[in-house]
A and B are shown apart, each in its own frame.
Chain A
C-alpha cells in the first residue's frame, strides 16, 4: 500500500516535471534568448547551471537525461504540426518510443514514469501546441484550431468580421478539393469563355470554400455561411494576401461559395507592365482599381445567385459616398474617402464619429454634426496606409489613431481638429495590432515588435501602455510580452455566449487560428517561484544511496 502510493507519487512527479520543464523552456529560457540576445543566452546558462547544481551526483545523470528527453519529445512533436493526423500519430509514437529507449538505456530513468511523462507532453500538445503555450502567461486560450490553407498564396486565414445575432462571426476560407465527379461535371460545363476549361482544371487542386467561424457556446465552429451572412461581407477583406496580382474567382455550387485564383494579368500584360518601370505607380494603381471592381462585381453576382443583395455591415464608403448611417440621418453623404477605418470618439468624447481613410488622408466624420470635423493629409514621404487601428491612450480618454506605416506612429486629434503625432515607433518593423480596453487599470496597446537588443526583425506579441510626457507627446512602456512570433490579424471579437471581448488571431504561415481572452493569473511569477523552490529543494535534499529518487 505504502509502496504503491509512493509509485503513484513518483509518476505524478515525473509527469509534472516533463510539463514543467517545457513550460520553463517556453516561458523563461526561450524568451530570455529571444529578447536579450547574448545576455539572454548567458542568463539562460546561469539558470541551467543553478538547476544542475541542485542535482546531487547520484541523481544528476538521470534527471538531466530525463529533462532532455521531455524537451526533445515536446520539440519533436511540435514540428509535426503540418503533417496529417495519421502521420502525426505514427511519428509521435515512434519518436516517443525511440527517445524513451535511449533515455532508459543512457540515463537509467525509471521506465514507466518516464514513458508517462513523455506521453503527457504529447497529449498536452494535442490540446495546445508547445509554441502556443507562450500565450498562457497572459491569456486564456479558448480555442486553438485551424483552417486548411495553401500558404504560398494565402499565408494566413483572412478574417472578414460580420455582425450576427448575439455577437460577431468571421467569414474566412478553407481549402476544398473537389471529388472526381464534381470535377468532371464542372469540366464539361466550363464553356463560357475561351480559357474556362483551363481555369477549371488548372485550379481544381487549389480551391477554397468560403466558410463561417460561428460561435457555438463560445466556441468558433466551422459552418456553411447563410446567404444573409455572406451579403454582409466586404469581399476585398478576403483577398488581401494576393491582391491585386491574383484574382479571386467566386462561384456558387449547391448553395456554397467556392473560390479559385487566377493571375489578374495575362502573361503578355504582365510582361508589358514589367518592362515599363517608370509607370509602375500608375500601372499598379490602375490594375488594383480594376481588380477591386471585378472582384466586387463577381461577389455580388454570387450573392444574386443565392438570392440576396449586398448588405454590407456597418458604415462603409461606396463611390465616394458614406453609406449605412442608418435611419434618422441622411443615408448617404458625399465625400472624398475610400474606406471606413472604424467608429470612435476622436475630437469629442460624446459624439459618435467615424474615421475614414481617403486619398493619402484621414478624415473624422461626426455623425451628430453630419460633417467632417478634422482631416489629416499624408505626403509621399509620410504615407497613410489602410492599416490603421483605433483606441484610447488612457482609460476613458478620446480615441487615438494608430497608423502602421514604417515606422508606425500614433496620431491624436484635439477638439479643435488639429492633429498631433504623439509617438513614433523606434523600429521599422514595429506594428500596432489593437487596443484592449476591457483590462484594468489602463488600456493595453497590443503590438508586434522586435527585441530592442537583438538586430533581428523577428516580432513578438506584446502590450504597452501610453505614458504622456510634459509636452503632449508620450512613450510606450511595456506591460507584458508573449514570446510568440507570427501573430497576425489580431481581431477583437464579441462572441455570442462569451461575456467579455475576446481576441481572434492567426498564426502566419499555418492556417492556425486562436481565440484568446486576457486573464490575470500570475503564471510567469508562479513558474519562476516553483523553479526556484525546486532548485532550493534540490540543494537541501540529501540522497541516501546511489540512484535514489528525489522524494518530493
Chain B
C-alpha cells in the first residue's frame, strides 16, 4: 500500500516535470566586465584620463577583446575580435564577421591570414597600437573644451576602474587607411550623417591602464535608416609576459612545415 502510494507520487512528479518541459536550465555566461550606469560628476579634470592614456600607449603587450553590435530593425549583427598584440609589430588575432571567420598572424614583415583552414600570405599591418586612436578623441575633446563626465566606479575584468565619459562628433578619429577617401567616410559626412559618439573610458585604479572602452552611437544609412551601434573594447593581461605573449599559431606552423605557402 505504502510503496504503491510512493509510486503514484513519483509518477505524478515525473509527469509534472515532463509535461511542463522542466529540465535543468543553463546559466548564461557573463563576461567579467561591468558597465557604468550613472554620471556622478558632470565636469572633471582630464589629467587622470590623459595620464592613463599615456601609460596605456606604452604598454608592450596585451590581449584585446572587442565587439561591435549593430541593431538593424529587430536583428542584431556583430563583428568581434579576439587576440594578442605585442608592440611594435606582432599580433595574432581572430575576427568574426557575422558568420565569416578570419585569423591573422603577424611578426615584423611576415604576415599570414587564414580563411577557413588555409593560411595565405598577407600584408603586415603598419600600426598595431590599439590604444593610439583614442588620443584623437581626447585631444579633440580637450581642444574643443568638451565636458568630461565621471561615472560610477565599476569592476572590469579584474580590478575596479574610474569611469570617464565624453561625447564627441562622429568622424574625429582617423580611419583605417583602406577607408580613407572612401565615399561616405569623410569626417564632414560622418558628422552630418551619424549621431555624436559617447565614449566611456574605464581606467584601472590599481594598474593605471585603460581597461575598457565602450561607445554608443547611431549611424544613419541611406535606404536603411538609423542603426544603433554599440562597441566594447577590453584590454587584458597588459604587460603580462606569460599570458599576453604572441605565439605562432600551430596550424600555420604545420602548413608551412608541409611546404605550402
Real complex partners, A and B?
yes
Interface of A toward B, CB cutoff 8 Å: 25, 29-30, 32-33, 40-41, 44-45, 48-49, 52, 60, 64, 67-68, 71-72, 152-153, 155-156, 234-236, 240-246, 263, 265, 267-290, 292-293, 296, 316-319, 338-339, 341, 357-360, 378-381, 383-387, 404-405, 431, 456, 488-489
Judging by beta carbons under 8 Å apart, are B18 and A68 in contact? yes
Chain B residues within 8 Å of A33, by CB: 20-22
CA distance A380 to B21 in the complex (A): 42
Given A277-B133, A285-B221, 14 extra CB contacts under 8 A: A44-B19, A241-B75, A269-B178, A271-B113, A282-B173, A282-B185, A285-B194, A288-B224, A292-B221, A341-B225, A359-B194, A359-B226, A379-B196, A383-B217
Which of B98, B102, B220 lies at the interface centre, i.e. has the most chain A CB atoms within 10 A of its CB?
A: B220
Judging by beta carbons under 8 Å apart, are A286 and B137 in contact? no
Judging by beta carbons under 8 Å apart, are A240 and B73 in contact? yes
Contact of A285 among B131, B190, B223 (CB under 8 A): B190
Chain B residues within 8 Å of A60, by CB: 8
Chain B residues within 8 Å of A288, by CB: 70, 219, 221, 224, 227
8 closest A-B pairs by beta carbon, nearest first, are A278-B133, A386-B225, A289-B184, A339-B225, A286-B185, A360-B195, A380-B198, A285-B219
Judging by beta carbons under 8 Å apart, are A52 and B12 in contact? yes
CA distance A96 to B91 in the complex (A): 56
Judging by beta carbons under 8 Å apart, are A384 and B226 in contact? yes
Chain B residues within 8 Å of A286, by CB: 175, 179, 182, 184-185, 190
A selection of 19 A-B contacts at a CB cut-off of 8 Å is A241-B75, A242-B99, A243-B77, A245-B79, A245-B100, A271-B102, A275-B91, A275-B128, A277-B66, A279-B174, A280-B233, A282-B170, A286-B179, A286-B182, A290-B183, A293-B184, A338-B222, A405-B228, A489-B74
Q: How far is the CB of B98 from chain A (nearest CB, A)?
A: 4
Judging by beta carbons under 8 Å apart, are B221 and A49 in contact? no
Q: Is B15 close to A, CB under 8 A?
A: yes
Q: Is B117 close to A, CB under 8 A?
A: no
Judging by beta carbons under 8 Å apart, are B176 and A269 in contact? yes
CA distance A269 to B182 in the complex (A): 13
Q: How far is the CB of A338 from chain B (nearest CB, A)?
A: 5
Contact of A281 among B134, B217, B222, B225 (CB under 8 A): B217
Chain B interfacial residues counted at CB < 8 A: 90
Chain A residues within 8 Å of B182, by CB: 286, 290
CA distance A68 to B190 in the complex (A): 61
Judging by beta carbons under 8 Å apart, are B229 and A271 in contact? no
CA distance A44 to B229 in the complex (A): 42
Q: Is B104 close to A, CB under 8 A?
A: yes
Chain B residues within 8 Å of A405, by CB: 228
Proximity string of chain B (222-242) to chain A, C-beta cutoff 8 Å, 1 when within and 0 when not: 111111110101000000000
Interface residues of chain B: helix, strand, loop or mixed (majority):
mixed
Which A residue sits closest to B25, measured CB to CB? A456
Q: Is B11 close to A, CB under 8 A?
A: yes
* Contact A290 to B173, CB < 8 A, known contacts A33-B20, A41-B22, A271-B102: no
Judging by beta carbons under 8 Å apart, are A384 and B218 in contact? yes
Judging by beta carbons under 8 Å apart, are B137 and A278 in contact? yes
CA distance A386 to B226 in the complex (A): 5
Q: How far is the CB of B112 from chain A (nearest CB, A)?
A: 10
Q: How far is the CB of B130 from chain A (nearest CB, A)?
A: 6
Q: How far is the CB of A310 from chain B (nearest CB, A)?
A: 11
Q: Is B216 close to A, CB under 8 A?
A: yes
Chain A residues within 8 Å of B134, by CB: 278
Contact of B226 among A243, A246, A316, A383 (CB under 8 A): A383
Q: Is B30 close to A, CB under 8 A?
A: no
Q: How far is the CB of A375 from chain B (nearest CB, A)?
A: 14
Judging by beta carbons under 8 Å apart, are B74 and A242 in contact? no
Which of B66, B98, B113, B175 lies at the interface centre, i.e. has the most chain A CB atoms within 10 A of its CB?
A: B98
CA distance A319 to B184 in the complex (A): 12
Proximity string of chain B (1-31) to chain A, C-beta cutoff 8 Å, 1 when within and 0 when not: 0000000100111011011111001000000
Chain A residues within 8 Å of B73, by CB: 240, 386-387
CA distance A71 to B222 in the complex (A): 51
Chain A residues within 8 Å of B16, by CB: 41, 44-45, 48-49
Q: Is B192 close to A, CB under 8 A?
A: yes
* Contact A338 to B125, CB < 8 A, known contacts A269-B178, A285-B193: no
Proximity string of chain B (92-136) to chain A, C-beta cutoff 8 Å, 1 when within and 0 when not: 010101111010100000000101000000110101101111101
Judging by beta carbons under 8 Å apart, are B194 and A277 in contact? no
Q: Is B177 close to A, CB under 8 A?
A: yes
Which B residue sits closest to A46, measured CB to CB? B16
Proximity string of chain B (73-95) to chain A, C-beta cutoff 8 Å, 1 when within and 0 when not: 11101010100010000010101
Judging by beta carbons under 8 Å apart, are A41 and B20 in contact? yes
Q: How far is the CB of B90 from chain A (nearest CB, A)?
A: 12
Which A residue sits closest to B98, measured CB to CB? A245
Q: Is B213 close to A, CB under 8 A?
A: yes
CA distance A379 to B19 in the complex (A): 48
Chain B residues within 8 Å of A378, by CB: 195, 218
